[in-house]
Structure 1
Amino acid sequence: MRNAWLPSDVPDPDHALEAVAVRIWQRAAAVDAAAAFPAKDIADLVTSGTIAACADLLDDNALPILSTIGAASLTVGRLFEGHLNAVKLANRYGDAEATDIVAAEIAAGRILGVWNAERGGGVTATRIDGGYRLDGGKVHCSGAGTIRRPVVTASLNGDTQMFLPDLVSPRVGIDLAIWRAAGMRGTATGSVTFDGLEVPDAAVLGSLGDYYRSPWFSGGAWRVIAVQLGALDRIMALHADRLRDDPVARARFAAAAGAHEAARLHVREAARRAETPNSNPEEIDAYVDLARGTFETAALTIIEATRRNVGLSSFIAPDPLDRCLRDLETYLRQPFLDASRDHAARWLAARGGRFSA
Structure 2
Amino acid sequence: MTATLISESADGPDGRVLRRTAAERFAHWVDSGAANLPLPGSGATLRRLRTLHDLGRADLSLARLAEGHSDARAILHELGAPVPAPGERWGVWAAQPPGSVLHARRDSRAGWRLDGVKAFCSGAHSCTHALVTADTEDGRRLFAVATDDAGCSPVEGSWQAVGMAGSDTPEVRFTDVPARPLGAVDAYLRRPGFSHGGVGVAACWLGGARGVADVLLRAARRREPDQLLAAHLGTVDVLLYGAQCVLGKAAEEIDATPLEDGERAIALASRARAVVADVCARVLDEVGRALGAGPLCHDAEHAQRVADLTVYIRQHHAERDLAALGTLLATADEGALDAEGWGDA
Structure 2 match to 1:141: 121
| Counterpart residue number, 1:285 | 266
**1:239 counterpart residue number:** 216
RMSD across aligned positions (CA): 2.6
Give the corresponding residue for 2:230.
250
Q: Distance in 2 between matches of 1:265 and 1:68?
A: 15
* Post-superposition offset of 1:33: 7.7
Q: Which residue of 2 aligns with 1:308?
A: 289
> 2: distance between equivalents of 1:207 and 1:115?
17
Q: Deviations over 1:132-184 (max 9, x none)?
A: 12111111110112212100111113421111122223322312422221211
The amino acid across from 1:184 in the alignment is: M
Contact 2:216–2:291 (CA under 8 A) maintained in structure 1: yes
> Are 2:27 and 2:89, in contact at CA under 8 Å, matched by a contact in 1?
no
Q: Which amino acid aligns with 2:226?
A: D
The one-letter code of the counterpart of 1:305 is: E
Deviation at 1:210, TM superposition (A): 0.6
Contact 2:129 2:145 in 1 (8 A): yes
The answer for unaligned runs of 5 or more in structure 1 is 7-29
Q: What is the CA-CA distance between 1:254 and the residue it aligns to?
A: 2.1
Q: What is the distance in 2 between the residues matched to 1:281 and 1:45?
A: 33
Query: Mean alpha-carbon deviation: is it higher for 123-132 or for 343-352?
Result: 343-352
Q: Equivalent of 1:188, from 154, 165, 168?
A: 168
Find the residue that maps to 2:114 and give its secondary structure: strand
Aligned mate of 1:122, from 101, 108, 130: 101
Correspondence for 1:113: 91
State the distance in 2 between where 1:278 and 1:121 align. 32
Normalization by structure 2: what TM-score? Answer: 0.84
* Structure 2 CA distance for aligned equivalents of residues 263 and 223 of structure 1: 13
Structure 2 vs 1, CA of residues 195 and 317 (structure 1 numbering), >3 Å: closer, same or farther? farther
Task: Letter of the 2:280 partner, please give it.
Answer: A
Which of 314, 327, 342 aligns to 2:323? It is: 342
Deviation of the 1:88 alpha carbon: 0.8
Deviation at 1:94, TM superposition (A): 3.2
AA at the equivalent of 1:84: S
Shift of 1:331: 0.5
Give the Cα separation in 1 of the matches to 2:144 and 2:104.
12
- Whole-angstrom CA distance in 2 between matches of 1:43 and 1:145: 12
Q: Quick one: which of 289, 292, 308 aligns to 1:327?
A: 308
Contact kept in structure 2, 1:273 and 1:284, CA below 8 Å? no
Aligned residue in 2 for 1:81: 67
Q: Given the alignment, which residue of 13, 28, 45 partners 2:29?
A: 45
Q: Which residue of 2 aligns with 1:70?
A: 56
The structure-2 alpha-carbon separation of the partners of 1:169 and 1:320, relative to structure 1 and needing over 3 Å to count, comes to: closer
Q: Under a length normalisation based on structure 1, what TM-score does the superposition of the two structures give?
A: 0.82
Q: Which amino acid aligns with 1:163?
A: F
Distance 1:315 1:127 in 2: 51
Contact 1:139 1:192 in 2 (8 A): yes
User: What count of residue pairs does the alignment treat as equivalent?
Assistant: 322
Any gaps of 5 or more consecutive residues in structure 2? Answer: 7-12
> Does the CA contact (< 8 Å) of 2:2 and 2:148 recur in 1?
no
Displacement of 1:292 in angstroms is 1.1
Of 150, 153, 157 in structure 2, the residue corresponding to residue 173 of structure 1 is: 153
Q: 1:301 to 1:196 in 2, by over 3 A?
A: same
- 8 Å CA contact 1:313–1:322 kept in 2: the answer is no
SS in structure 1 of the partner of residue 145 of structure 2: coil
Match of 1:226 in 2: 203
C-alpha distance in 2 between matches for 1:317 and 1:274: 42
**SS where residue 252 of structure 1 aligns?**
helix
Letter in 2 for 1:75: S
Q: Which moved more, 1:211-220 or 1:343-352?
A: 343-352
| Larger CA deviation: 252-261 vs 147-156 | 252-261
| Cα distance between partner residues in 2 of 1:47 and 1:120 | 36
- Higher relative CO (CA 8 A, sep ≥ 6), structure 1 or 2? 2
Change in Cα spacing, 1:123 to 1:335, as seen in structure 2 (3 Å) is farther
User: Cα 1:135–1:43, aligned 2, differ >3 Å: closer, same or farther?
Assistant: closer
* CA distance in structure 2 between the aligned counterparts of 1:285 and 1:221, rounded to whole angstroms: 9
